[in-house]
Structure 1
Amino acid sequence: MPLDLKSAATGLMRAAGIAVPLVAGIALGQLATPYLPGFSEWVQTLGVWAPLAFVAAYIGVVLFMLPAFLLTMAGGAVFGVVKGSALVLAGATIGGTLAFLLGRTVLRASVARRVATHPTLSAIDRVIGDDGLRLMFLLRLSPAIPFVLSNYALGVTRVRTRDFVLAMLGMLPIIASYAAFGAAGAKAANGKGALPMPVLVLGVVATVVLGLLFARMTQKAIRDAESKAR
């Protein structure tokens, strides 16, 4: 396949990798909209324990590698965009760090075999060093590796635990996006108006474009680091 066609195909695959989960999440969110008021009321019955219960549930989702974006949308629907995003970040950070440490210890052998077959992760392991935090931050901003899978996989690389944890802040933009979609669904369920279709489409397009941009930035950073290491 010619180089330009190969690049175009790779770009389309990356775009699909961002757009399909996002559109699927929005569609599932629309289906779940009628149940949001009841779910929200149930969560509120937990009182002061509601945020802790949500964070605990998110930790479980991350550890068992379930679709975390659905719970992110639920967080926005129940707690609002700001508080929901903060709770999601807490759950993702704790759950991701636990998975990272499991991948570094008891699950190391099985995870290492899979990392060896993944070009991006293998490259990160080769070039990681003083620039580890920047590479990890870019990786969290980009869709190069699915979040729930990457936590275990990064545990067998030379990424430092400190850099892994700090780089979780890079997930805030996508977390806030999903939380906003969830909050919009909750408003629609309460009769406060659904999010207009043009706004939904614009949000999806913007997320895909930014995701592709950050993916290119990540790949470039890895190539530059590899060049310096030679």
Structure 2
Amino acid sequence: MIPAVRRLLRQPSALRFAGLLLLLAGFAVTVLLVPRPDPAQLPRLADSLGGYAPVAAIVGGALLLVALVPRTFITLASGAIFGPLAGAAYALGAALLAAAIGFAVGRLLGREFVAERVRGRLARLDGWFARQSVFGVITVRLLPIAGFGLVSYGYGTTGTRLLPFLAGSVIAATPTAVGYAAIGAAVSSPGHVNWYAAAPASFGLIASAVLIHRWWRAERRRRLGPT
């Protein structure tokens, strides 16, 4: 067993894939151990950054998403700092940048290893990802299977095309970005609570059910073939 592992790790693709796994494990441990700041205190940070605050929010938020910090926290913080509309826009900018970075890292470190070893059903699954449209990416993004950053890395290891992946990622992130940014803004301004802030998040759940149902019907028709 050990000689086989050694031979595997001598392969460049296996070494890169092992590096990807170690990177994700390190991020996961860091997220668990490092305490998160109070979103109510974050508006002071924006004041200290001045005109650079929007750029810092997008770049910093993207790096946190890449480091597997939950998108919910980042969107709440963005709403607390910038308000509901600007906060949602900056959170979506961070999500787009993070999706691109995670996809690129996954493609660089993991795609060759996965492509060399997928067989049978896994090969068919990889082919499904390669054929995915924007609609398919939205469907997967709305499923509660993993965090935003982890899904981005995972997509990079498949044959998915970049542009549909980025477009689907942003569209799927929009409802909850608007909802959680509004909630974050309410945290920093308790006297202005908007009880409709959760409506976009509810819309995301409804959209998830509709998309899953449509995907299931399309897959069923494909398997049955023409009648």
Query: Please, what TM-score do these two structures have when normalized by structure 2?
Result: 0.66
Shift of residue 89, structure 1, vs aligned partner: 1.1
Give distance in 2, aligned partners of 1:106 and 1:66: 21
What is the match of residue 157 of structure 2? Answer: 156
Instruction: Determine whether 1:105 maps to 2:103.
Output: no
Q: Which amino acid aligns with 1:176?
A: V
Larger CA Rg, structure 1 vs 2: 2
Gaps in structure 2 of 5+ consecutive residues:
1-35
Query: Displacement of 1:130 after TM fit?
Result: 5.4
With over 3 angstroms needed to count, the CA separation of the structure-2 counterparts of 1:43 and 1:178, relative to structure 1, is same
State the shift of 1:173 in Å.
1.0
Structure 1's unaligned 5+ residue stretches are 1-28
Q: How do 1:64-143 and structure 2 match up within 5 A?
A: 64-108=67-111, 112=114, 125-128=126-129, 131-143=132-144
Aligned to 2:53: 50
Q: Report the counterpart of residue 41 of structure 1 in structure 2.
A: 44
Q: Identical aligned pairs, as a percentage?
A: 22
C-alpha contact (below 8 Å) 1:135/1:221 kept by paired residues:
no
1:179 paired residue among 178, 181, 187: 181
Q: How far off its partner does 1:159 sit?
A: 0.7
Structure 1 residue 47 displacement after superposition: 0.7
1: distance between equivalents of 2:74 and 2:68? 12
Query: Residues 143 and 215 of structure 1 are in contact (CA less than 8 Å); yes or no, is this contact kept in structure 2?
Result: no
Aligned residue for 1:167?
168
Equivalent pairs, count: 186
Q: Deviations over 1:37-76 (max 9, x none)?
A: x420221221111011111211111211112210111111
The alpha-carbon distance between structure 1 residues 58 and 122, as it changes in their structure 2 partners (threshold 3 A), is farther
Q: Could you say which residue in structure 2 is the equivalent of 1:6?
A: none
Supply the distance in 2 between the matched residues of 1:52 and 1:68 (Cα, whole angstroms). 17
Q: Is 170-179 or 205-214 further displaced after alignment?
A: 205-214
Distance in 1 (alpha carbons) for counterparts of 2:82 and 2:164 = 29
CA–CA distance in structure 2, aligned partners of residues 144 and 214 of structure 1: 15
CA distance in 2, matches of 1:200, 1:92: 20
Contact 1:59–1:94 at 8 Å: present in 2 too? yes
Q: 1:208 to 1:129 in 2, by over 3 A?
A: closer
Any conservation in 2 of the 1:127–1:222 contact (CA below 8 Å)? no
* Deviation (angstroms), 1:223: 5.0
Query: Secondary structure of 2:186's match?
Result: helix
The 2-side partners of 1:49 and 1:125 are apart by 41
Larger RCO, structures 1/2 (Cα 8 Å, 6+ apart): 1
Q: Which amino acid aligns with 1:92?
A: A
Measured in 2, the distance between the counterparts of 1:177 and 1:128 equals 29
Deviation of the 1:139 alpha carbon: 2.6
Corresponding residue number in structure 2 for 1:14: none
CA drift at 1:149 = 1.1
Question: How big is each residue's C-alpha offset from its partner over 1:166-191, in whole Å with a ceiling of 9 and x where there is no partner?
Answer: 22231111211111211222221xxx
- Could you say which residue in structure 1 is the equivalent of 2:63? 60
Query: How large is the Cα RMSD of the aligned pairs?
Result: 3.5
3-state SS in 2 of match to 1:66: coil
